[in-house]
Structure 1
Amino acid sequence: MEIDVGKLIKEAREKQNLTQEQLAQKVGKKRSYISRIEGEEGANIKLKTLIDIVEKGFQGKITIEL
Structure 2
Amino acid sequence: MKQAREAKHLTQEQLGKIIDKKRTYISRVENDGSNLTLKTLFEIVEKGLGGKVRISIKM
TM-score normalised per structure 2: 0.85
How many residue pairs align between the two structures?
57
RMSD: 1.2
Give the ranges of 4+ consecutive aligned residues of structure 1 lying more than 6 Å apart after TM superposition: none
Give the % identical residues.
Answer: 56
1:17-63 CA distances to partner (integer Å, 9 max, x unpaired)? 110001001111011110111112x1522111101101110122111
Residue correspondence of structure 1 range 1-66 to structure 2 within 5 A = 9-40=1-32, 42=33, 44-66=35-57
TM-score normalised per structure 1: 0.77
> Whose Rg is larger?
2
Which ranges in structure 2 are unaligned for 5 or more consecutive residues?
Answer: none
